[in-house]
A and B are shown apart, each in its own frame.
Chain A
């Protein structure tokens, strides 16, 4: 009797499991006529809690639909635009948008796992693609195949608090250009009183490894060998990154006593006005202003010290296409992206509207086109309608001409997790052995990369 009951229970569970499993599958939509009605869902619609951005988006959707009456754009709002934690779940549950938003850091993983559609045969119709920076487009390419288009692009710099520079007797118009100058400035800022931190750095939740890569690139180092098969960070440059941090933490005592910081921690400290410097891109200033009670006027951005003629870790975001999207949806999605993300004076580059709405204009991002014609047009529009102090970003902008954008390494998150150990060690342990830390990390990274290749 008990056996029968158990058997029935098991059958019930299996049956329910199969029903639920079948709910997850999603069939391809039949492709319609070339100009037949098509509806696309698009990620990263501004949420209602950002009324100005939302209003601009809705106006853009109306204008686009008027120009393309057969296309309906259904925005999917979320804040932040993407939570990488839910990406796989949305894909598995069939709720991933047709045109979905991604960070650069996730693009390679998505391409490797075949979780985005190959848009190579359609992308030629997007006129601005030829003017986009080659390094920016390479983020979304695998060989000759294309899997997405960019929306934002920047590279790492040095974000600093101009107000604190003044208070510490430093010149905010002349930010540090060498790591020795960073050390001197950090000591002066830390000396302002308890709670003041000269230079802040991440060391937990994979963010430590991420910033290690940024500082390594800026010194001319590499995370992996050219063929991507072995780790390359156990180098003079890698050692210099850790030694510099160790000196600032323990010899200078200018990095504060609280470590294991993650993304939000430094944002909060920067917004709170007691952090002098950190490695970051201009988007940090935007976040600090929008979400962490900072003010644009108080912050400046320069290039990462000593990065002149070398590389800088690039970052940004863009859009990819659902692997189950029909050709019609892909074509419609590309038209929308061209209109909203890539055309000077329209969509995200409608700076006249942004100024009218009281939104910040003048940050040197996105830098999608470099010095090509659309890039120059965007820059002149940005200057014309600037609402933030553009001079605060001049040191960063001036350095761009001589710095190459460098992409994240393969298996980025896994390598960052490995390097978190080294970063947390030098920041929490005075006797940390840098050579040993890098050797251990190299061994672990090589295993990860071997698995990858």
Chain B
């Protein structure tokens, strides 16, 4: 029975003051407890409002304005959208972003899962290997990207040296339109490998061991165990990670910005990179915001699916 219900009951029973000294203490404690909670909530709300919601609202406003940040912005309807859609780089940017996300799903999504399965099967050095796999996440992204810039050097780079050691022809990596985007996916995968692997590993470890034992008794090998036990048991987390991966990879920026500058021949220009070009190099915040709004709408679709899936998982 809640404090309020108790008051009502006492009032109905004819008591002149429904609050006893004991109730005052309970009320104070309840208010105190909730005040702390509201305090924490407010802090979080202010942070979100200032650093997430306000910039989003500002972006939406800017995408419909011509603004020099001196005079009040002039409303221009959909002009900014028309400008960016007419830009020849617009189509390349969306195609490259989609290709990057697709490749990141093939490479960046599968590798951590396979690695987690292998780590889960290992009997020894598990903690050490988990640490090693997670290490790249600790590097600041810019450092990791610049490290790969050296690895990809067509002359003295590590990758071409390795290819040469096994008598394979050298690749142009970032300098070729056919390999540049894949090279960026490799960097991105390496940088994010650790987090994905740890999440999958946690999911794998929550699978009851007797399921594997039963499968083993039925004569299932490793692949069959993965197919019939691991994947069905981790289906939801796999789906959630898939959606998060799509949302993250569609915003790819740092890799093309630091490694290729969008080249060669616009082969690595992505939507986020084009946004940056508009806003900061061309000084056209309206165009940049219009692109940002388009990307936000696309990502909203994936985010909505993600929310539904994660709610389903929570209810499971």
Contact = CB atoms under 8 A, between A and B. Distances in A.
Interface of A: 12-14, 16-17, 20-21, 84-85, 87-88, 91-92, 106, 109, 113-115, 194-195, 203-208, 256-260, 262, 323-324, 411, 413-414, 417, 420-421, 424-425, 427-429, 443-444, 447, 451
B172 interface: yes
**What 4 pairs across the A-B complex have the smallest Cβ distances?**
A204-B261, A205-B261, A424-B264, A92-B69
Contacts of B54: 13, 16-17, 20-21
Interface of B: 45-46, 49-50, 53-54, 57-58, 68-71, 83, 86, 88-89, 153-156, 172, 174-177, 259-266, 277, 279-283, 285
Contact of A451 (B83, B154, B176, B259): B83
A421 B53 contact: no
A283 B237 CA distance: 55
Contacts of A417: 89, 262, 277, 281-282
A114 B71 contact: yes
A17 B57 contact: yes
A205 B277 CA distance: 9
B57 A13 contact: yes
A204 B260 contact: yes
Contacts of A451: 83
A68 B88 CA distance: 54
Given A21-B54, A88-B283, A428-B172, 4 more contacts: A20-B49, A91-B68, A205-B261, A444-B88
B281 A421 contact: no
B127 to A, nearest CB: 40
B260 A12 contact: no
A262 B285 contact: no
B217 to A, nearest CB: 50
Contact of B263 (A85, A195, A260): A260
A258 B283 contact: no
**Interface of A, helix, strand, loop or mixed by DSSP:** helix
B88 A85 contact: no
A228 to B, nearest CB: 17
20 contacts: A13-B53, A14-B57, A16-B54, A17-B53, A20-B49, A88-B285, A92-B69, A109-B283, A195-B155, A203-B264, A257-B172, A260-B261, A323-B70, A417-B89, A417-B277, A421-B263, A421-B266, A428-B172, A428-B263, A429-B265
A292 to B, nearest CB: 16
Contact of B68 (A17, A85, A114, A414): A114
Nearest to A10: B53
B283 A113 contact: yes
B285 A12 contact: no
B58 A91 contact: no
Contacts of A207: 261
Contacts of A20: 49-50, 54
Contact of A16 (B49, B83, B176, B283): B49
A156 to B, nearest CB: 20
B263 A203 contact: yes
A258 B70 contact: no
Nearest to A420: B263
Contacts of A411: 282
A113 B16 CA distance: 73
A424 B263 CA distance: 7
Given A421-B265, A424-B265, A428-B172, A12 B70 contact: no
A115 B175 contact: no
Nearest to A447: B86
A84 B281 contact: yes
Contacts of A324: 70
Contacts of B49: 12-13, 16-17, 20
A106 B282 CA distance: 9
A84 B280 contact: yes
Contacts of A258: 153-155, 175
Given A420-B263, A447-B88, A256 B45 contact: no
Nearest to A194: B155
Contacts of B283: 87-88, 106, 109, 113, 413
Contacts of A206: 261, 281
A429 B53 contact: no
A199 to B, nearest CB: 16
B279 A260 contact: no
A12 B50 CA distance: 12
B281 A413 contact: yes
B79 to A, nearest CB: 10
A414 B282 contact: yes
A404 B277 CA distance: 31
A425 B70 contact: no
Given A260-B175, A260-B260, A421-B263, A115 B70 contact: yes
B83 to A, nearest CB: 7
A102 B277 CA distance: 19
A443 B155 CA distance: 35
A26 B259 CA distance: 39
Contacts of A113: 68, 283
A257 B261 contact: no
Contact of B280 (A14, A88, A91): A88
A132 to B, nearest CB: 26
A245 B115 CA distance: 46
Given A12-B45, A13-B49, A88-B280, A429 B155 contact: no
